[in-house]
Structure formats: C-alpha cells, structure tokens
C-alpha cells in the first residue's frame, strides 16, 4: 500500500517535471508567412461588389409578419343592445324602444390580405336585432314586433398602427320582418309585414387582446410571434334601418368575443 | 334578372303602396253584435294612403296647440292666419301609416296605423252622411279638413299646464279637428267611434253654415248669459243628433244606428245616460233652467251644462222623428235651418246676425221656431214643436208653433204641451 501511494506521488511528480522541461524558444528568424502581415497596407482595399439579392431573399424580406403579430381570424360573436328610435307612424318624430340582438362578424380582409393595414380595413356583419311596441287601450290594443335581419359589409380604419380601435362605416341590405297582433276585447288578429331593409351607419369598433395562448414561430424566420389569443370585441354605433318607406335609428352597441 | 331590373324591383319594394282610390284597407268598425271588429273597407278620397291625405281631409301628426289668454302675442293678432300662428306651437308633420299588403288589401301593422286608417274612414263616412242631407247643395265647404291626430293641446285658461287627454273636438280657432291622446278612457278610442266623429263633424258644419267658418265668431266673443249658453247648447244638441245619424250609415258594416254615442268609449254610466237620445225622460230641471239663465259663459261651459241642455234638444229631435222613421227629414231640416236667407224662414245665421247687437232676442223659443219652420213634414213639425216645448219648458205664448196659419200649441195647458216632462213652476 505504501509502495502504491509512493509510486503515485512519484508519477505525479514526474508529470509535473515533464511540463516544466522548459519553454520552447522562438526562433530568432522570422519565418515567412504567405500572408505577409507586416507588409499589409494601412487601409483596406476596394471591396468587391455586393452580390444581387436573390428572389427568395427579396420575398422573405418583404413578407409581412402582421399575421404573426396578430394571428386572429377575425371571427366575432356579439350581443347587441341599445335603443331603437322607431319612426313614429303618427308623425310625431320617433318612439324609443329597447332593442337587442346577435351579430356575427367576419373580418374577411385578415384572410385575404397579409399587409398590416389592409388586414384591418374590411369586415362584414350578419345580424339579427329585435324591438317590440305595445300601444292602445285595454279594449283595443296592438303589439308590433320589429325584426331586422341584415348583411352589411363595412370599411374600418384603425386609429393607429396595430391599434385595437377602428372607426367604421357600413352599408347593407336585409329583411325587415314585422309581425303584429291586434287585440279587440280578447279576439286577436294577426298580420305580418315583410319589407326590404337597407342599413347604413357607423361607429367605433374595439377589439383589444384579453389573453394569449402559446407561442407561434414563423418557420421562415427566426422571429417568434406571441399574440394568438382571445380578444373581446365591442362597438359603439349609430345605425339606421330603412324598412320600406320608414326609417328607424339604432343607438347602442354590442359586446362579444373575437377569435 | 338583369341588374337594372333588379334595382327597380328592390326600389319598388321600398316604396309606398299604391294609392289609387278607392283603396282597400282593413279598419276597426262596429259590427252587428254591438262590438268592434276588423273589416275590409274602402277609402274613397285618399290621394296617399300612407300619409292619409286627400281632397276631403289630411291627418297631421305631432301638432301642438296652446290656448293661453295671457299670451301677449294674442293682443297683436289682426287676422285669422296670425291667430293660427299664435295658437299652433307646432304645425305638425305628415303621418306615415305602416301596412302590409295581401291580395290588394292593406292591413295596418301597428296600433296608430289602425287608429289613423279607421279615423280617416270614419271622417269619410261622416262626410257621406252630410253630403246626403245637404240634399244636392254643394258640400265643398266641408272639404280640405285638417285632423290633428294625437295632438298636444294645452288650455291654460283652465289654469292647468297639463296637456288635455281623452277628447276629440273641432277647434274653430285653428280650423281643425283635434284627436287627443287617450289616458283614462280605455274602451274604444274616440276617433274609432263613428258617432263621436259624426258629432264633431257637425260642429264643422255648424261653424261653416252659421259663422261662415270664422275662427272666433262674433257672438261667441261678445254674447253672455242666456244667448251665449243657448248658442253653445244648440251646437252640442244638434251635433249629438247628427252623430246618431252618422252611426246609421254603418249599415254597410252591419252595425246599425247607435243612439248612445258615448257608450262604446266611456265607462261612466251616469255620463252615458245623460247623453242618451233614447231617454224619453230627458227633461229640464229647475237647476239647469236657473243656470241657463244666470250663468256666465265660463261657469256654464265649465260645468258641462251646454251638454246637458244640448241633450234635451237632441232628445226632442230624436223622440220627434225616430218613432216614425223620419230622421232623414229631420236631419235635412236641421241643415236648412242653419243658413236660410229667405225672408219667410230665416236660418240661424240670419237670425244671429240680425240680433248680434241685441242678443236678448235670441231665445230658446226662437231657436225652436227656426228649426220647426224648416221641417217639411207637417206631422213631424207638430212633434218637433211638442217635444222641444216639453223638454225645454218653452214659453208657449212666444212659441205658438205656427203650421199653416194654425198654432199647433194654441194654449199653454198641459194637455197640449206636456208629453214626458212635468211642467216646472215659473222662475
């Protein structure tokens, strides 16, 4: 055992002794190096021409990453609420009634365009809204229901780059469905009117991001996007409906979610 | 379908329904069972069924009228047009009734459209009634009516700033009918009650015939006590009788005559009974007679006493003519009595103008004499004399009721005078 330890110590010593055998001296003569470093000029020479960018490189440089910043498809479902200013048939201006409904929105420009601005410009609404009115005496009275079904494309302009707020204007068509019931004593008489509906109006639309999920990496670059998630959408609007020869005005808004 | 054609179809669908008279519409009318129902009728004078306007009448919505005696602008009024400007705080707008169309028949789609269409129809029926009893005389003076539908009307002379409700009236200062919103009345709205419309139309006829359509007739602004009270009472009484007559035009809808005009629209049974023409116990009372002779205009009208006295006149006319089926003769006689420039049988217009500055000569007896003189049927005339004398307690000395040189009522004993009413002691 003592011999083993001594051997190990002696071996180690011998290793150190080998590393200390002395530094390898530099030659006194400078060796020739094909690069001739000491003869290099004081400034660099004319650079060579930059090569042309390839088509692929150009395409990659011009590629918009807006869909990475905001990969949402622009599909929204909203609840509509507000007040309908019914055109008074008795020529007294309007009569205000509460109005509610549902709206489905597709921001179709997000699908067709990759440009950051163009993606925000267009959407289309498919909506149903409803108001009702009851008037008359106890003996003779009538209840009228007003259903508005509309398809309305819109043009929206965002208020700032990557802004979740846009101002929009809209024009659409649809159907005004107007069932009514007249009650005389207890007898009911029903009638339903269906009229072509024109819709026009505008407002402010908001779609702020509420929370995100996951990270998405763009396989064509090293950039990693981080904005896929749920957005709340709401709007404040003034919309007019022309049903036949009658004009109604809706003041209100809607709130919902956007994916 | 080509695009231009498609656009045309879409635009047509957005346009108003065609209004070539007659227009078939659904309206709310009384039926043969004494209730109300929807029925297809025709509007024969409408140029626009949506705006409910035509040569006969135009419905105006959203109008505001304010009667304020303290309004300083009234002191500067020098013409009827200026008076209209002062009283009409808002001239109103066109109405736009909402319809659906099926098989060429328009059905209203909301309560007000039902109301307006029916109101228009009722005015057409009333006009048709007056056209008949004008008996060939021109009726152009009855056209071009404005009906202020659902009007806001404030009468500040009553000391109240609240808008009036539950009424329908012809208001001569604005030369228009006013249909006021209902509030406490929850039965048949007044404008849907054809008897009420017929009654109000009678006021237009009275105004045109007796006062030449003046906004503020001179007797109304200058007479007091008995002459004024008589003038307003006979206006109401004759209107009640004509209102009943208009209900008889509803034979087409099966409803038939309705002598109790208010029963369809009012709950107050005492009020309904007080205006019931068929009540053969409608008689003068000592209190009413005293008020008639002694109350100033505001007090007489404020107590609704012109309706009470008027009902006595209407009941007399009804009781004289209805039992023998001679209402049409009576109706024509009343029209002729309003304006007759013949020296032998002057009408109310002539008599009022004659006594404008001596109104004490315009008496109930003179009124009865004027009416009786225009009744062409002698038997009916006798009944008219007896009924008016009995119910109004007329002075039989000054109202002998001369028929063919023979006094119908030669004496003042109860045998020739009294029919239904007890004779009151002298005042």
pLDDT tens profile A240-249: 999 989 999 9
pTM for this prediction: 0.86
The nearest alpha carbon in chain B to A197 belongs to B14
> In the predicted model, is pLDDT for residue B16 greater than 80?
no
pLDDT at B420: 78
Mean pLDDT of A68-73: 72
Q: Which of A137, A178, A198 sits opposite B109 (nearest CB)?
A: A178
pLDDT at B398: 76
C-beta atoms of B189 and A191 within 8 A: no
Residues of B at the A interface, defined by Cβ within 8 angstroms:
10, 13-16, 26, 28, 35-38, 50, 59-62, 92-100, 107-116, 149-150, 182, 185-189, 192
> In the predicted model, is pLDDT for residue B409 greater than 80?
no
Mean pLDDT of A192-220: 82
Q: Which of B14, B107, B115 sits opposite A244 (nearest CB)?
A: B14
Per-residue model confidence as pLDDT tens digits over B92-125: 999 999 999 999 999 999 999 999 999 999 999 9
Q: State the average pLDDT for chain A.
A: 82
Residue entry with tokens 């009722």: B122
pLDDT at B203: 98
> In the predicted model, is pLDDT for residue B351 greater than 80?
yes
C-beta atoms of A141 and B100 within 8 A: no
Give CA–CA dist B148/B167, Å, rounded: 12
C-beta atoms of A133 and B110 within 8 A: yes
pLDDT at B51: 96
pLDDT at A54: 82
pLDDT at A74: 87
pLDDT at B142: 97
Per-residue model confidence as pLDDT tens digits over B43-97: 999 999 999 999 999 999 999 999 998 899 988 999 999 999 999 999 999 999 9
ipTM of this predicted structure: 0.90
Mean pLDDT of A158-171: 91
Per-residue model confidence as pLDDT tens digits over A124-139: 999 999 999 999 999 9
pLDDT at A10: 42
pLDDT at B7: 52
Question: What does the H/E/C string look like for chain B?
Answer: CCHHHHHHHHHHHCCCCCCCCCEEEEEEEECCCCCEEEEEEEECCEEECCCCEECCEEEEECCEEEECCCCHHHHHCCCHHHHHHHHEEECCEECCCCEEEECCEEEECCHHHHHHHHHHHHHHHHHHHHHHHCCCCCCHHHCCEEEEECCEEEEHHHCCCCECCCCEEEEHHHCEEEECCCCCCCCCCHHHCHHHHHHHHHHHHHHHHHHCCCCCCHHHHHCCHHHHHHHHHHHHHHHHHHHHHHHHHHHHHCCCCCCCHHHHCCCCHHHHHHCCCCCCCCCCCHHHHHHHHHCCHHHHHHCCHHHHHHHHHHHHHHHHHHHHCCHHHHHHHHHHHHCCCCCCCCCHHHHHHHCCCCHHHCCHHHHHHHHHHCCCCHHHHHHHHHHHHHHHCCCCCCCCCEECCEECCCCCCHHHHCCCCCCCCCC
Six-digit token string for A28: 């006194």
pLDDT at A63: 66
C-beta atoms of A89 and B98 within 8 A: yes
pLDDT at A64: 67
Which residues of B are less than 8 Å from A133 in CB distance?
110
pLDDT at B379: 92
Which residues of A are less than 8 Å from B107 in CB distance?
191
pLDDT at A159: 92
Minimal C-alpha gap between B161 and chain A (Å):
20
C-beta atoms of A193 and B99 within 8 A: yes
> In the predicted model, is pLDDT for residue A234 greater than 70?
yes
pLDDT at A16: 39
> In the predicted model, is pLDDT for residue B41 greater than 50?
yes
> In the predicted model, is pLDDT for residue B361 greater than 90?
yes
In chain B, what percentage of residues exceed pLDDT 90? Answer: 78
Q: Which of B62, B95, B98, B113 to mutate to test the interface with A (most CBs of A within 10 A)?
A: B98
In chain A, what percentage of residues exceed pLDDT 90? Answer: 54
* Residue B410 CB coordination number (10 Å): 11
C-beta atoms of A195 and B13 within 8 A: yes
Give, in degrees to the nearest 5, the angle at Cα B416 between B385 and B242.
Answer: 25
pLDDT at B256: 80
* Residue B217 CB coordination number (10 Å): 19
Residues of A at the B interface, defined by Cβ within 8 angstroms:
87-93, 133-142, 144, 178, 180, 182, 184-185, 187, 189, 191-196, 198, 242, 244-246
Per-residue model confidence as pLDDT tens digits over B268-326: 999 999 999 988 899 999 999 999 999 999 999 999 999 999 999 999 999 999 999 99
Q: Which of B10, B35, B61 sits opposite A90 (nearest CB)?
A: B61
Q: pLDDT band for A52, please (50, 70, 90 cuts).
A: confident
Q: Which of B28, B97, B110 sits opposite A140 (nearest CB)?
A: B28
Which of the residue ranges A54-58, A115-119, A176-180 has the most confident prediction, judged by mean pLDDT?
A: A176-180
Which residues of B are less than 8 Å from A242 in CB distance?
14
Question: Helices B225-247 and B364-373 sit at what angle, rounded to 10 degrees?
Answer: 40
The answer to whether residues B153 and B79 touch, using CB atoms and an 8 Å cutoff, is no
Residue entry with tokens 């009384």: B30
Give CA–CA dist B238/B388, Å, rounded: 13
Q: Which of B35, B96, B187 sits opposite A89 (nearest CB)?
A: B96
């Amino acid at each position: 055992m003592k011999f083993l330890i001594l051997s190990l110590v002696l071996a180690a010593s011998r290793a150190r002794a080998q590393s200390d055998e002395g530094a390898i001296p530099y030659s006194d003569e400078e060796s020739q190096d094909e690069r001739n470093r000491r003869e290099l000029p004081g400034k660099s020479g004319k650079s060579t021409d930059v090569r042309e960018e390839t088509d692929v490189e150009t395409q990659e440089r011009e590629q918009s990453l807006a869909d990475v910043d905001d990969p949402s498809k622009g599909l929204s479902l909203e609840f509509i609420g507000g007040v309908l200013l019914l055109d008074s048939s008795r020529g007294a201006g309007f009569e205000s009634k509460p109005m509610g409904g549902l709206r489905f929105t597709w921001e179709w420009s997000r699908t067709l365009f990759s440009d950051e601005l163009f993606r925000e410009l267009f959407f289309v609404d498919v909506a149903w809204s409803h108001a009702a009115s009851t008037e008359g005496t106890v003996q003779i009275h009538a209840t009228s229901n007003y259903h508005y079904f509309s398809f309305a494309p819109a043009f929206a302009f965002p208020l700032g780059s990557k802004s979740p707020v846009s101002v929009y204007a809209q024009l659409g068509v649809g159907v005004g469905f107007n069932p009514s019931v007249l009650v005389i004593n207890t007898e009911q008489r029903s009638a339903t009117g269906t009229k072509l509906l024109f819709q026009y109006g505008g407002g402010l639309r908001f779609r702020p991001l509420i929370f995100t999920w996951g990270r998405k990496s763009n396989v064509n670059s090293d950039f990693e996007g981080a904005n896929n998630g749920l957005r709340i959408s709401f709007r404040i609007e003034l919309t007019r409906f022309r049903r036949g020869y009658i004009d109604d005005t809706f003041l209100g808004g809607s709130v919902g979610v956007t994916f | 379908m080509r695009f231009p054609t498609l656009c045309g179809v879409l635009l047509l669908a957005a346009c108003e329904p065609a209004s070539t008279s007659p227009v078939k519409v659904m309206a709310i009318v009384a039926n043969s069972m004494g209730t109300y129902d929807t029925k297809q009728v025709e509007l024969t004078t409408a140029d626009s069924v949506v705006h409910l306007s035509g040569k006969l009448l135009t419905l105006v919505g959203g109008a505001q009228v304010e009667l304020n005696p303290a309004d300083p602008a009234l002191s500067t009024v020098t013409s009827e047009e200026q008076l209209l400007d002062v009283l009409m705080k808002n001239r109103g707008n066109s109405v736009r009734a909402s319809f659906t169309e099926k098989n060429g028949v328009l059905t209203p789609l909301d309560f007000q459209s039902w109301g307006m269409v029916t109101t228009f129809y009722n005015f057409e029926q009333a006009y048709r009634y007056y056209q008949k009893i004008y008996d060939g005389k021109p009726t152009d003076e009855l056209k071009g009516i404005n009906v202020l539908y659902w009007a806001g009307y404030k009468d500040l002379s009553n000391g109240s700033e609240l808008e009036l409700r539950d009424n329908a009236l012809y208001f001569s200062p604005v030369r228009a009918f006013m249909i006021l919103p209902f509030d406490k009345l929850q039965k048949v709205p007044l404008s849907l009650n054809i008897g009420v419309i017929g009654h109000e139309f009678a006021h237009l006829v009275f105004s045109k015939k007796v006062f030449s359509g003046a906004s503020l007739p001179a007797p109304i602004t200058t007479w007091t006590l008995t002459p004024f009270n008589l003038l307003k009472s006979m206006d109401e009484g004759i209107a009640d009788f004509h209102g009943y007559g208009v209900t008889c035009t509803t034979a087409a809808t099966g409803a038939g005559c309705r002598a109790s005009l208010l029963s369809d629209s009012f709950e107050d049974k005492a009020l309904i009974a007080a205006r019931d023409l068929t009540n053969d116990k409608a008689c003068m009372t000592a209190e009413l007679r005293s008020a008639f002779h002694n109350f100033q205009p505001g007090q007489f009208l404020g107590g609704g006493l012109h309706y009470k006295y008027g009902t006595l006149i209407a009941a007399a006319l009804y009781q004289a003519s209805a039992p023998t089926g001679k209402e049409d003769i009576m109706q024509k006689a009343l029209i002729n009595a309003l304006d007759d420039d013949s020296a032998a049988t002057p009408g109310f217009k002539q008599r009022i103008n004659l006594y404008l500055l001596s109104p004490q000569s315009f008496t109930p007896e003179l009124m009865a004499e004027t009416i009786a003189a225009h009744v062409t049927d002698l038997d009916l005339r006798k009944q008219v004399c007896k009924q008016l004398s009995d119910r109004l307690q007329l002075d039989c000395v000054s109202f002998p009721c001369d028929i063919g040189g023979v006094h119908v009522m030669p004496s003042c004993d109860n045998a020739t005078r009294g029919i239904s009413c007890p004779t009151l002691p002298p005042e």
